[in-house]
């Protein structure tokens, strides 16, 4: 006869969940609360309550320009990552390729090889042949680090989809375009969307590649925040960070709706 | 007739994956492997007094004779080891609870791990700067609860780096172990308990050893990410406590010594590969097992 979970274990579980929740969320909560402070300096707990720092960033050229750069960058990266990652995933998951497994591992390698090294390499490359750090360099760097996510999400939905449908379309006389347009791409759609939101989020949040591709006219929001933290953090940094956290919550919600967060594990 | 059509189909299906792969392979080769390869070349390139370029190990020699850089490396690896251990101690029980609770609570826990994971590292570090700062939240809390009798300094300390890095990396550990725990399920643990094993004994004797592949891959990935992280240790540790990645960055931006930065990068890359190659092999074995 199996007895239930002992009370000590239940208690420990409750403690574990509470402690983890605090530990994981407190840095985000602290940033969000600091942005509401009325004082001139970054203090916690915040003194007073005001939204003035949000007004301040709306009036700040540096933040607006960085915000615009970040949004433009993330959108371009998202489109490219979907356009290049989807066919790659189809090739890897729908065809028996010689050395396909090794190739798949190579495509995922930017996830684990240090971004720092890749960032410096990209800087060296762009300094010798690309005319120095630039928006294009940033797009290329972010494309490389977000491509694995699109390949993985599209690959995951393809693994669940029925390959026989494609074969059926072929035998019913569909040509290549019809097969992709009406069968394969609809099968990939959820993975493409989820991968796209990942790509957007990665590009929008990255500070390492952005650090090396930094030029006077290409500063992104995370880098703007990084520079402020190195020198003089004030509550306006907290306000920008809060906006970025809210955007992340929104993206996580969307990815869950389209793809299911459970499948990330 | 049918014969020629068949060959046509075979040719098409051979060309099709190549066309699909083309753009991806081009990006991977030109934008990822080329820059990394360039770093390898730079690390062995030596410019002589007369401007002549030759190849040699000078930049690596510079690293290994200097106590400063050895100290930086030792700190990097020691901290990474500690961070990995703590991530495991938090990550395993968390993943275990996730794999055993009802779907609603599990969703909440996944959210708890994924939401910070998807938030920019700069912003999470910012939160820790406020919490760990002199006279910050944690220092006050420790003083009020009587754990310490005066303001604790956590900024610019190794403890500060460890605390913030654990929060940054715990999701990788938890999600990796969770993947394995979900695969093995709870049947064997239930069986052990039916046969009279206690709750804890079933976990330690059955579930823990079964999830070893997940634990090892979780530890490897956290260690690899930890030795190469840069933003959090630099902001929390400051200039007094440089890690390898921070030292590479200052060689690039401070002294503009790209060759030396490349040599350090190659050493970091080698250290990462030593950890990542077994990780990739483990993951592959796990995948093929799942297919069977």
ipTM (interface pTM): 0.90
User: How high is the mean pLDDT of chain B?
Assistant: 84
- Whether cis (ω within 30° of 0) applies to the bond prior to B49 is no
DSSP code string of A109-142: GGGTS-HHHHHHHHHHHHHHTSSSS-HHHHHHHH
Nearest CA in chain B to A19: B90
Query: Do the chains contact at B127 and A31, CB–CB below 8 Å?
Result: yes
Q: Cα dihedral angle (A212, A215, A219, A220), rounded to 10 degrees?
A: -30
B223–A contact, CB cutoff 8 A: no
User: What's the CA gap between A211 and B63, in Å, rounded?
Assistant: 24
**pLDDT above 90 (res B101):** no
pLDDT level of residue B286 (50, 70, 90 thresholds)? low
B 56-85 → A contacts, CB under 8 A: none
Compare B277 and A71 and report the one with higher pLDDT.
A71
Describe the crossing of helices A61-94 and B2-27 by its angle, rounded to 10 degrees: 150
A241–B contact, CB cutoff 8 A: yes
**pLDDT above 50 (res B7):** no
Burial class (CB in 10 A: 0-12, 13-18, 19+), B132: buried
User: What's the CA gap between B158 and B155, in Å, rounded?
Assistant: 9
Q: Which of A140, A207, A265 sits opposite B120 (nearest CB)?
A: A207
pLDDT score recorded for residue B25: 92
pLDDT score recorded for residue A264: 65
Q: What is the pTM of this model?
A: 0.90
Q: What is the DSSP letter of A215?
A: B
B 239-268 → A contacts, CB under 8 A: 245, 248-249, 252, 258, 261-262, 265, 268
Query: Do the chains contact at A117 and B36, CB–CB below 8 Å?
Result: yes
Chain A, chain B: beta-carbon pairs less than 8 Å apart: 254
Are residues B149 and A56 in contact, defined by beta-carbon separation less than 8 angstroms? no
| Residue of A34, A44, A114, A149 for testing the chain B interface, max B β-carbons within 10 Å | A114
Structural domains present in chain A: 59-263 (1.10.3720.10)
CA–centroid distance for B10 within its chain: 43
pLDDT in tens, A183-192: 888 888 989 9
* Least-confidence region, from A147-161, B15-29, B45-59, B204-218: B45-59
pLDDT in tens, B228-284: 999 999 999 888 889 999 999 988 888 888 899 999 999 999 999 998 888 877 776
**pLDDT above 50 (res B290):** no
User: What's the CA gap between A68 and A140, in Å, rounded?
Assistant: 18
B172–A contact, CB cutoff 8 A: no
Query: Do the chains contact at A229 and B235, CB–CB below 8 Å?
Result: yes
**pLDDT above 80 (res A126):** yes
| Residue of A12, A20, A141 for testing the chain B interface, max B β-carbons within 10 Å | A20
Are residues B165 and B229 in contact, defined by beta-carbon separation less than 8 angstroms? yes
**Exposed e or buried b for every residue in B114-129, given b needs 16+ CB within 10 A?**
bbbbbbbbbbbbbbbb
Contacts of A87 in chain B (CB under 8 A): 19-21, 23-24
- What distance in Å separates residue B65's CA from the closest CA in chain A? 23
Query: Do the chains contact at B118 and A201, CB–CB below 8 Å?
Result: yes
User: What's the CA gap between B250 and B273, in Å, rounded?
Assistant: 23
Q: How many CB atoms are closer than 10 A to CB A100?
A: 15
Are residues B184 and B95 in contact, defined by beta-carbon separation less than 8 angstroms? no
**pLDDT above 70 (res A255):** yes
A 10-69 → B contacts, CB under 8 A: 13, 16-17, 20-21, 23-31, 34, 42, 44-45
Query: Do the chains contact at B122 and A222, CB–CB below 8 Å?
Result: yes
Nearest CA in chain A to B224: A112
pLDDT in tens, B66-97: 889 999 999 999 999 999 999 999 999 999 99
Q: How many CB atoms are closer than 10 A to CB B169?
A: 25
pLDDT score recorded for residue B2: 43
Query: Do the chains contact at B252 and A83, CB–CB below 8 Å?
Result: no
Nearest CA in chain B to A137: B31
Burial class (CB in 10 A: 0-12, 13-18, 19+), B58: middle
Contacts of A185 in chain B (CB under 8 A): none
* Least-confidence region, from A117-131, B118-132, B163-177, B197-211: B197-211
| Residue of B16, B32, B202 for testing the chain A interface, max A β-carbons within 10 Å | B32
What residue spans of B53-120 are helical by DSSP H?
58-65, 67-100, 103-118
- DSSP H or E segment with residue B8: helix B2-27
pLDDT score recorded for residue A205: 93
Give the CA count within 13 Å in the CB-facing half-sphere of B117.
Answer: 18
The token pair that represents B100 in the structure block? 């055993």
B13–A contact, CB cutoff 8 A: yes
- What distance in Å separates residue B67's CA from the closest CA in chain A? 23
pLDDT level of residue A141 (50, 70, 90 thresholds)? very high
Q: Which of B118, B225, B249 sits opposite A248 (nearest CB)?
A: B118
Are residues B118 and A201 in contact, defined by beta-carbon separation less than 8 angstroms? yes
Residue indicated by tokens 């630099």: B234
Query: Do the chains contact at A265 and B170, CB–CB below 8 Å?
Result: no
Query: Do the chains contact at A28 and B115, CB–CB below 8 Å?
Result: yes
Nearest CA in chain A to B235: A230
- What distance in Å separates residue A65's CA from the closest CA in chain B? 19
């Amino acid at each position: 006869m199996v007895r239930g979970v002992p009370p000590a274990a239940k208690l420990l579980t409750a403690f574990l969940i509470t402690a983890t929740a605090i530990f994981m969320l407190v840095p985000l909560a602290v940033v969000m609360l600091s942005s509401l402070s009325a004082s001139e300096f970054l203090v916690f707990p915040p003194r007073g309550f005001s939204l003035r720092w949000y007004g301040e960033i709306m009036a700040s050229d540096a933040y607006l320009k960085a915000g615009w750069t970040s949004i433009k960058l993330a959108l371009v990266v998202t489109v490219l990552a979907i356009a290049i990652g989807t066919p790659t995933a189809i090739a890897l998951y729908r065809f028996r390729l010689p050395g396909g497994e090794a190739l798949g591992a190579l495509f995922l390698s930017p996830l684990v090889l240090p971004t720092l090294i890749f960032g410096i390499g990209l800087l060296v490359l762009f300094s010798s042949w690309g005319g120095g750090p630039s928006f294009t360099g940033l797009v290329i760097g972010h494309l490389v680090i977000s491509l694995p996510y699109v390949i993985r999400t599209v690959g995951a939905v393809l693994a669940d989809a029925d390959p026989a449908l494609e074969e059926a379309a072929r035998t019913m006389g569909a040509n290549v375009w019809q097969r992709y347009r009406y069968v394969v791409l609809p099968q990939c759609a959820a993975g493409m969307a989820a991968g796209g939101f990942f790509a957007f989020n990665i590009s929008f949040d990255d500070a390492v590649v952005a650090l090396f591709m930094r030029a006077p006219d290409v500063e992104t929001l995370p880098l703007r925040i990084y520079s402020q933290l190195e020198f003089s953090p004030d509550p306006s940094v907290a306000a920008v960070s809060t906006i970025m956290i809210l955007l992340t919550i929104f993206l996580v919600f969307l990815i869950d709706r389209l793809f299911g967060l459970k499948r990330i594990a | 007739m049918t014969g020629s059509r068949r060959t046509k189909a075979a040719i098409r299906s051979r060309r099709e994956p190549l066309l699909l792969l083309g753009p991806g392979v081009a990006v991977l080769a030109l934008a990822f492997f080329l820059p990394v390869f360039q770093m390898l070349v730079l690390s062995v390139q030596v410019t002589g007094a007369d401007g002549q370029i030759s190849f040699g190990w000078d930049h690596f020699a510079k690293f290994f004779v200097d106590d400063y850089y050895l100290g930086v490396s030792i700190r990097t690896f020691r901290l990474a080891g500690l961070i990995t251990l703590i991530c495991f101690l938090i990550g395993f029980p968390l993943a275990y609870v996730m794999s055993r609770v009802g779907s609603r609570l599990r969703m909440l826990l996944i959210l708890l791990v994924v939401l910070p994971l998807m938030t920019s590292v700069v912003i999470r570090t910012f939160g820790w700067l406020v919490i760990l700062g002199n006279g910050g939240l944690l220092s006050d809390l420790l003083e009020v609860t009587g754990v310490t009798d005066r303001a604790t300094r956590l900024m610019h300390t190794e403890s500060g780096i460890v605390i913030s890095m654990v929060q940054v990396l715990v999701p990788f550990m938890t999600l990796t172990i969770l993947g394995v725990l979900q695969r093995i399920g709870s049947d064997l643990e239930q069986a052990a308990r039916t046969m009279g094993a206690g709750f804890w004994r079933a976990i330690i004797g059955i579930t823990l050893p079964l999830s070893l592949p997940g634990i090892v891959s979780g530890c490897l990935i956290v260690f690899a990410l930890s030795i190469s992280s840069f933003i959090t240790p630099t902001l929390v540790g400051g200039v007094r406590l440089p890690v390898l990645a921070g030292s590479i960055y200052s060689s690039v931006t401070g002294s503009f010594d790209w060759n030396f930065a490349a040599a350090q990068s190659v050493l970091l890359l080698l250290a990462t590969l030593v950890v990542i190659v077994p990780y990739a092999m483990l993951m592959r074995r796990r995948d093929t097992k799942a297919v069977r």
